Structure formats: C-alpha cells, structure tokens
Amino acid sequence: MNVLCPVSVGTIFLSVYAANNEKPIDVKVEVKPVCPMLVHKSAYEGPCRPGAVSPEEERESHKKHCDRFVESVKENLKEEAVMLEPISLEFNEDYKISENQWKKLEADLSKTDLILLSGYCRAYGFKRYKKPMALVSHGVGNVDIAAYLRNNGVEGYAPYDWDELNNLISLMRVRKAVRQTKILVVTNRPGGLPTYGVKSVILGDTLEKKFGVDCKYVSFENFFEEMDRVARSESEKKKASKITDKLINNADKVHMNTDYIKNDVDFYLTVKSLMGKYNCNGFTIDCFEICPTKIPAEREFLPCLTHSLLKDEGYPSACEMDLNAFLAMALEMYIAKKSVFMGNPGFDKEKNLVHINHAEPGLKMKGLPTSDLPYGLSNFTKSGWGTTIKYDFASDKGEKVTLARFNPAGTKLVVSKGEITGGSSGLDEIGCSTRVSIRVPNAIEFFHEQANTGHHLAVVYGDYTQELKGLGDLMDFELVEIG
C-alpha cells in the first residue's frame, strides 16, 4: 500500500489479524467485455448492409472494433472494477448464437458481475444467464437492450458515457459487498429477536432474503468459552499486550487502568477469533441483553472498544444488535471507505440540530487509509472499567456528514445531510458521553420520521446522499431524504 503516513493503531490490528478472505469493503466488480460479431454467410448488399463484404473482411473489421473496445475498457474503467478476459460472440444473419459460442461466456460466468457489450446485439439469449448487462452509448442500441432485459426480469443498463458506467460500477461494488457480509451476532435469543432495548430492528431473515446478508448467532456460553481460551493462550496474550500498549502509547490522554484496557482487548480478540472461525466480516452484540447480567461486571469489559477497532479495520460493527443501523452503516462504510459513528439522537427543532451521543467513535472516520485521529481512552463505568475511545467532534466544526437508518422492514432508508456545529469528547464523563451536534435541514421532520425507523443513526463524514439514492434504485429500497 503506497500510503505515506505514520503507523496507526488500525494498521497494527490489520497486521495482527490478517483476514483469510477479502473484506467486503475491498471487493471489486468483475466486468466481462463481450464483443458481438455479426458475420454474414456470404458477400451481398442489403438495405442494412452497404457494400458486398466477404465474411472474412467482416470478421476482420469486427476484430479491429473489438480490439479498440477492449483498449477503451482498460483506459476508462476505474479501480473499483476488474476486467475479465474479453470474448467475441460470433453469429450470422439468423441472429442465433451457437452453444459453442455461449460456452466462451460461461467459462467466467460464476465470477462475472457485469457483462459489458461492445455494441448493439440481440439480447434474447443473454437473459437466460440473469447477469447484469450494459452497453455504453448515446442511445438506440443500449436503451433497446436495457428495456428488453428489464422487461424480462434481468438487469439492463444504458449508461450514456464512461462516467455513468463507472458510477454504476461503484454502486454495484457496494451491493456486492453487502451480499458478501456475514454478521457475528452474540445473543442468547436465536433468530435475533429484539430485547427491550432496541425493538425496531430488522430481523436476520429479512436481511438475508432482501439483501443477502447472513447472520451467525453465537450464544453467550460459547462466546465466553472462547474468551477464556483467548485469555489463557500465550500467543493471544502477546497480541493483547501489543495492542494494549499501542492504544495507550498513541493516545493523547489515558484515564484508565491498563488491566481494564487489556480486558476489552481480550474481548476484541475473541470477536476476531470467532469471526475467523465462522467466516464473518461484521459484528454486533445485544448490549441490553448482556448488560443486566453479572457477566460484564465479573469480567470487567464492555464491547465499545471492539466496535471502534473493527470499524477502523473496515468491518461494520453495531451496538445493541441494531441491524437497522448496521445495514445503514455498512452502506456508508462500503461507499466512503471510512469508519462510521453510530449513536442515540436528540433533536432541537428550533435550531434544526441533531445531537448524537455514544461511546464508539472510530479513528478512521476521515478515511481508512488516513492517519489515526487524535483520541483519548476513558472508562465507561464508575468503577473504572469499560474502555471507550474518546474523540472531540468539536474540532470538526463545519464538516459535512450524512446520517442514515433503515426501517424495520428494510424497505426504506431515512437519510439527511448535515453539518457539524460542535461536540464533546466526554473524556471526563462516564457512559455514552462522546457527542456530536449536527445541523440538518429539518430536525422536526427527522424526529417524526424516526417513528417509522427507530432511533440509532449511522453518521459518515461527507455527503453521500446521491450515492445512497442510487443504491436504493439498485437494491430495491426507498430513500426518504429529510428536507
């Protein structure tokens, strides 16, 4: 990675736990260039074919066109895409593509995300593969192909130019990332039924059916058996010490005992171990289910630090088993490649402000490849345990942000752009004391819309409302934009 920046806490975690599989946030769209080649059986002139051209000459002309097309693809595709091996599909004036020709396409079909045509062709045969297709053109051929495919249940796209194609690919990359997301859910409630804490949640089966997001449910018993193993393991102890030391050494201020920080690092290492075991790349735990038990007090830990660290590595991680916020967070992270803050909103309708507080800001909220933001470490509880990262949002006054949350059915995403007006790190306070104040277009409208969605909000730096709108079209959910 050619990023010239100081070694960060997030970088250390990545080196300690290298992912076995590609993270969803790093996936690329695999594009298959296909050159249709109409080669007549003999040389003759017709109304749509000026000049009597031999099949050999026609084939050679198509090959030159295909070569130019492939070069254009190489030159214009952005880094979010990977070009697969280009192929040509030859057919004659009956417009029937033989099975031998189709086999050339089928060789890469399992990994193809988008078929990119070089020119106009009859799309009848392509519909059997149910693969998204696009043709870059100013009209006629590409709109006909798109209309035919769409009316036959297949994704067809008619981008006007390469910029529009790359915008489509950007959205397809996020959708692909979502479909590859698998959440480690720690709960004693199979199926993820909500507790009294957050009732307005998307259930796991809705996530899977509508968005392709899988959940792996792990009981408290199994989770803490693994945590005990981590705490006893000599190799895990070395990792925990290394991470704890780096957290402390890189912090501006530390208001905690080192042993308490290590407890929360052990929790983090347990989560990473189970994510690896079950091939998960996201995390949540039902805080309101576990907090009333004696387990946190006896083990002197909280999940807050883990949420911050995972997000800084590019893994969505949501508090309180709130899958609505998790899904909104995942979209924001996959679009922006930034860590996302999540919290409880309070509304000021006179000043059009939303005040959001929680205990899990990230150090990569301005970009995963960037240097860590300045931070402190402080305890969540009066007793001194429960590590939380503290960040002073007041230092980002004037920064643009996007706030988002899904409704429980997963059919609507409420979104608002905003601007940071202030905040507090809450360094000398306990609980969910890190706060950010955001001016939005219409606070009271936002407040009332939460009666349809529930309360937690996912906040990402930057204005991504247009990207989220495009994802709504691609992923079949309605965008409800405030103001």
CB 312 within 8 A of CB 362: yes
Nearest residue to 342 (alpha-carbon basis) of 355, 360, 330: 360
CA atoms within a 13 Å half-sphere pointing along the CA-CB vector of 307: 33
Size (the chain), residues? 483
Extents of the domains making up the chain: 26-174, 181-481
Nearest residue to 317 (alpha-carbon basis) of 305, 307, 330: 307
CB 379 within 8 A of CB 16: no
Identify any residues that bridge with 88 across adjacent strands, giving them in sequence order.
35
CA distances from 240 to 102, 229, 267 (A): 54, 13, 10
Q: What is the pLDDT of residue 199?
A: 64
Calpha distance 190→188 (Å, rounded): 6
The one-character DSSP state at 40 is: -
Calpha distance 329→311 (Å, rounded): 10
- Same fold for the domain at 26-174 and the one at 181-481? no
Q: How many CB atoms lie within 10 A of CB 377?
A: 22
State the fold for domain 181-481. L-fucose Isomerase; Chain A, domain 3 (3.20.14)
CB 134 within 8 A of CB 159: yes
CB 29 within 8 A of CB 169: yes
- For tokens 């150090």, name the residue: 363
CB 334 within 8 A of CB 25: yes
- Crossing angle for the helix pair 323-336 and 465-475, to the nearest 10 degrees: 110
Backbone angles phi, psi at 75, to 5 degrees: -75, -30
pLDDT in tens, the chain (483 residues): 233 333 334 433 433 333 445 799 999 999 999 998 877 778 877 777 667 788 888 888 889 999 999 999 999 999 999 999 999 888 877 778 888 888 999 999 999 999 999 987 776 788 889 999 999 999 888 999 999 999 999 999 999 999 999 999 999 999 999 999 999 999 998 665 665 556 667 777 889 999 999 999 999 999 999 999 999 999 999 999 999 999 999 999 999 999 999 999 999 999 999 999 999 999 999 888 888 899 999 999 999 999 999 999 999 999 999 999 999 999 999 999 999 999 999 999 999 999 999 999 999 999 999 999 999 999 999 999 999 999 999 999 999 999 999 999 999 999 999 999 999 999 999 989 999 999 999 999 999 999 999 999 999 999 999 999 999 999 999 999 998
Is residue 343 helix, strand or coil? Answer: strand
Calpha distance 481→461 (Å, rounded): 17
Q: What is the pLDDT of residue 22?
A: 72
Q: What is the pLDDT of residue 212?
A: 96
Q: What is the pLDDT of residue 370?
A: 95
State the fold for domain 26-174. Rossmann fold (3.40.50)
Is residue 285 helix, strand or coil? Answer: strand
CB 316 within 8 A of CB 330: yes
Q: What is the pLDDT of residue 203?
A: 74
Hey, what are 468's tokens? 């989220």
CA torsion 136-138-141-142 (nearest 10°) is 40
Cα end-to-end distance, the chain, whole Å? 40
The one-character DSSP state at 424 is: E
Calpha distance 312→26 (Å, rounded): 13
Q: What is the pTM of this model?
A: 0.92
Q: What is the pLDDT of residue 50?
A: 66
Calpha distance 391→271 (Å, rounded): 23
Give the H/E segment covering residue 145. Answer: helix 141-150
